[in-house]
Amino acid sequence: MSLDALLVVAAALFGAGVYGALSQQSFVMIMMGLELMLNATILAVVAFWWGSTGGNPEGQLLAIVVMAVMAIEAAIGFALVTNVYRVRKADITEKLRRLRG
Amino acid sequence: MRDLLARLAVGAPVPVFPVAGGGTREALARLRLRPDVHLVDTPRHAIVLLVLGEFPPGEIAGLAAVHDMIPSPRVTVHWTPGGPRDDVPRSMRVDGDDTALVAALSRVAGEVLSGTRASEPPIRPDVDPVEWRGIGPYGHGGKGMTGGTPFGRPLAERAPDRDGLELDQLSVTVGPWLGALPPGLELGIKLQGDVIQEVEIHPPAVTLERPDGWVRALEVPVPVAELELDRARHHLVWLGEALRVHDLPALGQRTLRLAQGLTPGDRGEVERVLAEVRRTGIYRLALRGLGAVDPSQVGGLGPVARAAGLEDDARLDDPTYQELGFRPVSHRGADAADRWRQRIAEITQSLDLAGRAGDRTAFGDGVVEGPRGRITSDGILPGAVTVDLLPELLTGLEWGDAVAVVWSLDVDPTGVASRSSPEGAAA
Amino acid sequence: MSPAWAVALVGVLLMVSVYLVAVMETIFGLRVSGVRGYGRAWALPMSRAALLLSQRRSVTERPDAQAWALAPALLGGLGAVALTAIPLAAGVEVADVDAGIVLFGAALVQVMVAVFLHGWAANSLFPVLGAFRMAALALSVSIPFSLVVITTALPAESLSVGLIISSQESLWNVVRQPLGLPIYLITGLGFSFWAPLQLPDARDLSGGTSAEVSGAALLVWRVARASILVAVAAMGAAAFLGGYLGPWLPGWLWMAVKTFGLLAILVWSGHRIARPRMETAVKLGWTVLLPLALVDVFVSGALTL
Amino acid sequence: MSGIVDFLFWVFAVAAVVTGWLVFRTDSMVRAAYWLMASFVAVGAILVTLDAQFLGLILILMMAGEMTIMAIFMVMYMMNPAGLNPMTMVHQHRTAAVAGAGAFVALALVGLLADFPDRPAPSGTDPTVDLGVELLGESMLVFESAGVALLAVMIGAIALVSKRGRYGDADEGSEEPILEKTE
Amino acid sequence: MAELGATLTVFLVAVVAIGVVRWVGDTLNPVQLTVPERVPFAGGFDPEFHAWSRFHIRWYSMALLFLAFDMEMVFMYPWAVVFVREGMISLVEMLMFILILVVGIVYTWRERGFEWS
């Protein structure tokens, strides 16, 4: 286990997240892609904290902030999905031409 | 290994799934008190399917389906408290009283567990409900995103809802043998999430439970002590069953036990148990504010009417009761909690009346105040009217709340039958 | 503690205490129902287990078979993990780690996942309703639950359960934080979906998430569920009642006495308190337990300083 | 000892990536959400092996609730939520795959080639204490602004999902005429 | 950390043990079910639809509130560890943080977010 190995794992997770976020059609699945990218970010941040910053607590703090971002993203995302669904009865991005334009 | 398990398993109460027809209210209550029998709520937990009581002619609705859901080893037992049924094979039939039944249940359960009696094969044919195998691009019967009948059933469709989110609506027939509902009550409901959007009442799967003692009181005066004890017993059995559905089975058993051989002298013990029921906090936690009825719709419905603030009681017009100084108890809330309070108050009131009545007789002139409400000679039992309340009251309730409301009304599913065939009750 | 010893210890403890929970459940049930004479209760769980093992496992038309198999295993595993976070006597601990209460909390919150999967996997109306009930219930109780457990870490200045116990040398947390234990027990009942909070497996759903389960699958589900209750009681004893601390008796015995005392209270309450409506349970969690838990945190905190 | 830790690390690493990939390979929304949770749990386990015990465990704790909510919302809004009809809910599959692979290669190269200082975290102390001191001390503002941000999110989210808005029901008078209704 | 290795072992063994009990049950009573034996139970009548559907939860406001409020836990654990060391200032800081978040609960409660929509 080394910093390099950790970063490669994080990169793989991030790549999977990018694939998901770009390929999926529904809002919620896109959010899953985003969450996977944030997952990779947490791993990378803690890896740096562990291997490269001499245990600076700000590294941990950053990881917590990323978790908070995840919660915020999820809450706002679901609220938007609910609202959009209520108004337009649609759950797939391609049905919402207006949003894409 | 199997033998060892079978020998060990003999010590456990036999899990029995009851399909209880008409006239078995009391028998079922007695059965719940038996330590060797455990009446379960879903056929998946049972070994024995117990068919008891009276059913409308023809096939018993849903019986075959429930039978097949019991995991093997399974065995069926037929028992009729009033007398043997002729249309059932001798080998499955138990004649005699409760004790004979319990002995038979334990015996057949032991036999199928140890393998000396073969487990019954499924009744219904091994055929898919809809042809689906090999159909469609994946061979699963579906079509596109939501079409077709994947694995034999379609997917639910969307329907509008009160909060503006148009999501899937499941329509499903619940009952007649659902442990959460009174036996025989069959409802066609439409659910969105856990909220009921529509209720339709189906004809009951059981025959009318004729309240013989009460019907007799229409014609001839009957001893008040007898009537009032019967009323208290009825309410105690109701309380026991309702407590079970509210997940207080042990307390429910205690009230059911009280109902056996009840005398006016049991009042102290009854009051202790009722106080315990109150202390469970059930009014505040589970019942308050649910299923409030409109007082104008519940006239003649006995406790339901009186819980809605009506002083509606045929006993008020009876000279004997007037002589006893009878005043009806009533509550004002009209909701499920007040209906519970009302019946619980009436239990002690009835015991009090029974104790003071001596050998006085009452009624006999065509109107009787039964435990569920006013019984008249027109043949429509109060249970019928209570069932009619359900569609309006249950709509918009969460499933668990709906179950609580059904029990709080003391619904008699056979009421529907009494209405569709008026001679049923008056006969 | 070496893994082999840990497995042996936790395994034996769980089996014994789950059995005792089943016995207790029977005895309290008989007592409340007005029957005297409990001799039969001791062998009954064994017979019931044998009966379930002799039954066939049920499968519905189109279940999520893997999730259905995973759910009870996950639930039991979580019960065992939660138990490892708790020192059972001075020096007898599987994983008294720095973040002990976080480990315990993580295990308990994951219970929600196991129960949700168990109900969802059946593809049948009542289990699915039960699954969603569990989600609502667990979300409502999990924050007050974590808050009162965190409060016990204040005087200990550590998240380690061992240090939380030793910080109660002079005074138990149940005295120092009187609001803590009741809130902990109520929310703990919610996580172990035990009566009166057994909403996901309630009778109005004909057994809820286990309505379609039979045979060995039902047996392991019930055992796993009881193991969560045992873990909740053990943590309650450690965090609020001083764990293995106590005069005269050996530490492990104190721990056992306190744990079974709490188990008795929990099982007893199932027969004596009514099951709340779903909406009442959610409101109870957010508008009663959560504010009280916050009061507990800050008042106990201020008193600790 | 470190051999076992290395082995566990690789087990968790593979688990995290594989479960993360399975998220987009299943038709069942519940499974997708819980595969994602499994990925988070595996990452949490990796964090534990990195001596960030608290962060790892809290990640596992948080994700149970968050992913259950994820599953519930997905079941709520996705047609055919259990994937009873197999479906392909992807578009621009090739672009996405290339972008994903590209992101992986680029980031992995950065990770492998860039020369990060080698200053390992000191072992033997409880990093949670440092974190607490940091939170209450220098990063107090971060902490309090997180509170404000979370409050804004709560109010925003609740206001968005409430049917009864200040200006009448949320679904009234906002149907888009251009919207193509596919059903 | 080595302790958590023991925890992991306990977890895996418990999972396997439960799997074994289930397997034993399946060996004693092999699961070969006919179509009617697999019909989901609803009281005696076959369900019309699959139960898996777009399930309309009634507490989505509460779920969203939980997402945001649960983050407070992450800050609270480290706070608890250094609480006594940092003294009154830590109490005040956390009190401020919590009071901010409690506004969200009050708002949700006022919007009837804890009731079945």
- For residue D144, the chain E residues in CB contact (below 8 A) are 93, 96-97, 100
* pLDDT tens digits, B187-222: 999 999 999 999 999 888 887 767 777 888 888 999
CB-facing half-sphere around the CA of E25: CA atoms within 13 A: 28
Domain segments of chain D: what residues? 1-81, 127-169
Q: In whole angstroms, give the CA distance from residue C47 to residue B8.
A: 5
**C residues 193-232 near B, CB within 8 Å?**
195-196, 198-199, 202-207, 211-215, 218
Q: In whole angstroms, give the CA distance from residue B325 to residue B318.
A: 11
Q: Do chains B and D touch (3 or more CB pairs under 8 A)?
A: yes
Question: Which CATH number does the domain housing residue B249 bear?
Answer: 1.10.645.10
Tell me what pLDDT residue D181 has.
46
* pLDDT tens digits, B329-368: 999 989 999 999 999 999 999 999 999 998 999 998 888 9
> Do B224 and B356 sit in the same domain of this protein?
yes
Among A67, A71, A82, beta carbon nearest to E68: A71
Q: Give the pLDDT band of residue A101 (cuts 50, 70, 90).
A: very low
Q: What is the mean pLDDT of residues E46-72?
A: 93
Tell me what pLDDT residue B17 has.
96
Residue of D nearest to E63 (CA): D69
Q: Is D175 exposed, middle or buried (0-12, 13-18, 19+ CB in 10 A)?
A: exposed
Question: Across all residues in chain A, what is the average pLDDT?
Answer: 85
Q: Give the pLDDT band of residue B85 (cuts 50, 70, 90).
A: low
Superfamily (CATH) of domain E2-110 = NADH:ubiquinone/plastoquinone oxidoreductase, chain 3 (1.20.58.1610)
Q: Give the pLDDT band of residue D121 (cuts 50, 70, 90).
A: confident
**D residues 100-129 near E, CB within 8 Å?**
126, 128-129
To the nearest whole Å, the CA of B167 is away from the closest chain A CA by 9
**D residues 108-147 near A, CB within 8 Å?**
108, 110-112, 116-122, 125, 127, 130-131, 133-135, 139, 142, 146
Tell me what pLDDT residue B427 has.
32
Q: What is the mean pLDDT of residues B39-49?
A: 95
Q: In whole angstroms, give the CA distance from residue E114 to residue B358.
A: 55
Q: What is the mean pLDDT of residues B260-280?
A: 93
In this structure, which CATH number among 1.10.287.3510, 2.170.150.70, 3.40.50.720, 3.40.50.2020 belongs to the domain A3-100?
1.10.287.3510
What does the block give as tokens for B84?
């043997």
Tell me what pLDDT residue C110 has.
96
Q: Do chains B and E touch (3 or more CB pairs under 8 A)?
A: yes
To the nearest whole Å, the CA of E88 is away from the closest chain D CA by 11
- For residue E60, the chain A residues in CB contact (below 8 A) are 78, 82
- CA neighbor of B48 nearest in space, from B144, B113, B128: B113
Q: Do chains C and A touch (3 or more CB pairs under 8 A)?
A: no
Residue of D nearest to C158 (CA): D129
Domain segments of chain C: what residues? 3-304
- For residue B167, the chain D residues in CB contact (below 8 A) are 76
Tell me what pLDDT residue B422 has.
41
> Do B150 and B90 sit in the same domain of this protein?
no
- CA neighbor of A18 nearest in space, from D69, D65, D64, D23: D23
Residue E67, chain C, CB below 8 Å: the answer is: no
- CA neighbor of C191 nearest in space, from C144, C232, C237: C232
* pLDDT tens digits, A79-90: 999 988 888 776
Does E63 sit within 8 Å of A78, measured CB to CB?
yes
Residue D157, chain E, CB below 8 Å: the answer is: yes
Among B71, B398, B403, beta carbon nearest to C279: B398
Confirm whether B120 is domain-assigned.
no
pLDDT at B21 over 90: no
C217: Cβ contacts below 8 Å, ≥ 6 apart: C57, C58, C68, C72, E22, E25
Tell me what pLDDT residue D137 has.
81
Per-residue exposure over C194-229, b if at least 16 CB sit within 10 Å of its own CB, e if not: bbbbbbbbbbbbbbbbbbbbbbbbbbbbbbbbbbbb
Q: Is B361 exposed, middle or buried (0-12, 13-18, 19+ CB in 10 A)?
A: middle
What does the block give as tokens for B346?
């009436």
In the numeric block, the tokens 């010893």 are attached to C5
- CA neighbor of B124 nearest in space, from C60, E34, C212: E34
Mean pLDDT by 10 residues, chain C (305 residues): 89 96 95 87 93 94 94 97 93 87 96 97 96 96 96 93 93 93 96 94 94 96 97 96 91 95 96 95 96 94 88
Does B126 sit within 8 Å of E35, measured CB to CB?
yes
Do β-strands B167-174 and B75-79 pair in parallel, antiparallel, or remain unpaired? Answer: unpaired
Domain segments of chain E: what residues? 2-110
**B residues 18-47 near E, CB within 8 Å?**
42-44
Residue B184, chain C, CB below 8 Å: the answer is: no
pLDDT at B119 over 90: yes
ipTM, two decimals, is 0.94
* pLDDT tens digits, C102-128: 999 999 999 999 999 999 999 999 999
**C residues 147-166 near B, CB within 8 Å?**
none
Q: Give the pLDDT band of residue D161 (cuts 50, 70, 90).
A: confident
**Chain B neighbors (3+ CB pairs < 8 Å):** A, C, D, E
Crossing angle of helices D127-136 and D53-77, in 10° steps, is 70
pTM of the entire predicted model = 0.95
- For residue E56, the chain D residues in CB contact (below 8 A) are 76
H-assigned helices in B295-335: 303-307, 319-323
In the numeric block, the tokens 């919590």 are attached to E98
DSSP states along D62-107: HHHHHHHHHHHHHHHHSSSTT-SS----BSSHHHHHHHHHHHHHHH
Return the residue in C62, C66, C117, C120 with the most chain D beta carbons within 10 A, the one to mutate for interface testing: C120
Q: What is the mean pLDDT of residues B279-295?
A: 94
pLDDT at A99 over 80: no
Q: In whole angstroms, give the CA distance from residue B279 to residue B302.
A: 25
E36 alpha-carbon distance from chain centroid: 34
C30 against D93, higher pLDDT = C30
Tell me what pLDDT residue A98 has.
46
- For residue C6, the chain E residues in CB contact (below 8 A) are 6-7, 9-10
Tell me what pLDDT residue C91 has.
82
To the nearest whole Å, the CA of E44 is away from the closest chain A CA by 35
Residue A68, chain E, CB below 8 Å: the answer is: yes
> Do B218 and B286 sit in the same domain of this protein?
yes
Query: Could you give the number of structural domains in chain B?
Result: 3
What 3-state class would DSSP assign to E53? coil
Confirm whether B343 is domain-assigned.
yes
Tell me what pLDDT residue D165 has.
52
Q: Is C171 exposed, middle or buried (0-12, 13-18, 19+ CB in 10 A)?
A: exposed
> Do B89 and B148 sit in the same domain of this protein?
no
* pLDDT tens digits, B143-177: 887 888 899 899 999 999 888 888 999 999 998 99
Are C40 and C206 contacting, i.e. CB atoms less than 8 angstroms apart? no
Domain that holds residue B134: 130-155
pLDDT at A93 over 60: no
Among D61, D65, D82, beta carbon nearest to C139: D65
Question: Across all residues in chain B, what is the average pLDDT?
Answer: 89
Q: In whole angstroms, give the CA distance from residue E101 to residue E95.
A: 10
Least confident of B108-112, B397-401, E2-6: E2-6
Return the residue in B146, B158, B161, B165 with the most chain A beta carbons within 10 A, the one to mutate for interface testing: B165
**Chain D neighbors (3+ CB pairs < 8 Å):** A, B, C, E
- For residue D53, the chain E residues in CB contact (below 8 A) are 1, 4
Question: Which CATH number does the domain housing residue B62 bear?
Answer: 3.40.50.12280
Tell me what pLDDT residue A94 has.
47
Q: What is the mean pLDDT of residues B382-403?
A: 90
**B residues 138-197 near E, CB within 8 Å?**
150-151, 153-156, 158, 161-163, 165, 167-168, 170-178, 181, 186, 192-195
CB-facing half-sphere around the CA of C108: CA atoms within 13 A: 35
B24 against D45, higher pLDDT = D45
Does B145 sit within 8 Å of D85, measured CB to CB?
yes
Distances (CA, A) of D60 to B274, D57, E66: 47, 5, 16
- For residue C199, the chain B residues in CB contact (below 8 A) are 400
Residue of E nearest to A78 (CA): E64
